[in-house]
């Protein structure tokens, strides 16, 4: 970045995706402020030149957080919980944040990190397009879609951009850690007995494209999917995971009825609360035949190309887990 440094607010800056966004912005010369909860673990921000502001999406005012910034990258959100909790954090919290940005005066860039869950899955024969009518499959996706609507409604007063990443993995992620640990034991459970397709994206590629969205003028007002363009099935994913951890895997197929039963049982027993645990939403998502989308427009408009292929990204992540003693 040349000239005067820009001032950016990152919500969820202590989390998995948000902390990588902080790293990308600092590397580019931004002055970075992070919105964190009082209970947030700050391990990924320790020693970094960031300003911390405490607030919670569910019940706080954001005037102090947005004061003096010209860029907001909104990564914070709730991924599991009741419908009421999801909408309170993801929709109501986003509405309060964008309203605070509008009230602060001036023209501000607001980049919203949503999710493909807001759009819904693709199909085996046809990846999802941004223009397709949204069909979220659960309350998480519906709450993120409602948040997108709130953001885009302010497009006459804010420079808004909405990005919808697919399944994100990489260093610091605790959700996909269970998959790596399973693979390290030499076994992998493949959801369903029929072929299922999936796209992934490395967290550093997500951070890079969020930064690009904060800087590119031509993308204002638009919505984009974020994924590595390579589409693979679950057996190919298992093979890549095996290579990443250095094991030949035994793959076992888990029929969809058993997957749903396991998710329902976990929900009833209070499971699914820790990262990577199966719950009903995860079971529902895993039962879909294709979580796929087209990203050609994203790559063209944002002048962005993922750096990490699937195998390279999985290897990079496995190495990081080992260095941390997680694997």
Residue 184 lies in a domain: no
Residue 100 lies in a domain: yes
Residue 80 lies in a domain: yes
Residue 90 lies in a domain: yes
Asked if the model's pLDDT at residue 1 lies above 70, the reply is no
The pLDDT tens digits for 245-255 are: 999 999 998 88
Per-residue pLDDT averaged across 59-84, rounded? 92
**What b/e readout covers 106-139, taking b as 16+ CB neighbours within 10 angstroms?**
eebbbbbbbbbbbbbbbeeeebbebeeebebebb
We report the CATH number of the domain holding residue 111 as 3.40.50.720
Q: Where are the beta strands (DSSP E) in 264-321?
A: 290-291
Predicted local confidence at residue 282, as pLDDT: 79
Residue 311 lies in a domain: no
Q: Where are the beta strands (DSSP E) in 117-158?
A: none
Q: What is the mean pLDDT of the chain?
A: 92
Give the residue numbers marked as catalytic.
140
The pLDDT tens digits for 166-205 are: 999 999 999 999 999 999 999 998 888 889 999 999 999 9
Which residue range(s) make up the domain with 90? 7-169+200-227+293-306
Q: How many domains in the chain?
A: 1
Asked if the model's pLDDT at residue 21 lies above 90, the reply is yes
Asked if the model's pLDDT at residue 5 lies above 70, the reply is no
The pLDDT tens digits for 246-299 are: 999 999 988 887 776 777 776 666 655 566 566 777 777 877 889 999 999 999
Predicted local confidence at residue 274, as pLDDT: 61
Q: How confident is the model at residue 213 (pLDDT cuts 50, 70, 90)?
A: very high
Residue 101 lies in a domain: yes
| Distance (Å, whole) CA 90 – CA 120 | 17
Instruction: Give the number of other Cβ atoms within 10 Å of residue 92's Cβ.
Output: 17
Residue 153 lies in a domain: yes
| Distance (Å, whole) CA 161 – CA 213 | 7
């Amino acid at each position: 970045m040349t000239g005067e440094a820009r001032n950016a607010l990152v919500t969820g800056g202590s989390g998995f995706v948000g902390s990588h966004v902080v790293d990308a912005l600092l590397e580019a010369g931004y002055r970075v402020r992070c919105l964190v909860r009082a209970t947030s673990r700050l391990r990924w921000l320790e020693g970094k030149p960031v300003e911390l502001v405490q607030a919670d999406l569910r019940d706080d005012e954001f005037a102090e957080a947005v004061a003096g910034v010209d860029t907001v990258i909104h990564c914070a959100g709730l991924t599991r919980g009741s419908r009421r909790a999801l909408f309170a954090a993801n929709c109501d919290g986003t509405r309060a944040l964008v309203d605070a940005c509008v009230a602060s005066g001036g023209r501000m860039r607001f980049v919203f990190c949503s999710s493909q869950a807001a759009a819904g899955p693709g199909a085996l024969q046809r990846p999802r397009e941004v223009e397709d009518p949204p069909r979220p499959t659960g309350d998480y996706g519906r709450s993120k879609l409602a948040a997108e609507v709130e953001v885009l409604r302010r497009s006459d007063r804010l420079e808004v951009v909405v990005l919808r990443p697919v399944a994100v993995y990489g260093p610091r992620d605790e959700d996909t850690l269970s998959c790596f640990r399973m693979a390290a034991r030499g076994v992998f459970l493949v959801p369903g007995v029929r072929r299922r397709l999936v796209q992934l994206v490395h967290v550093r590629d997500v951070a890079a494209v969020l930064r690009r969205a904060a800087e590119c003028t031509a993308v204002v007002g638009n919505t984009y999917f974020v994924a590595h363009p390579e589409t693979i099935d679950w057996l190919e994913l298992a093979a890549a995971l095996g290579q990443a951890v250095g094991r030949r895997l035994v793959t076992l197929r888990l029929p969809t009825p058993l997957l749903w039963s396991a998710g329902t049982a976990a929900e009833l027993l209070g499971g699914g609360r820790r990262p990577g645990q199966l719950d009903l939403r995860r079971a529902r998502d895993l039962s879909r035949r294709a979580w796929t989308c087209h990203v050609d427009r994203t790559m063209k408009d944002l002048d962005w190309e993922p750096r990490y292929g699937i195998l390279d990204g999985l290897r990079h992540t496995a190495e990081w887990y080992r260095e941390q003693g997680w694997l």
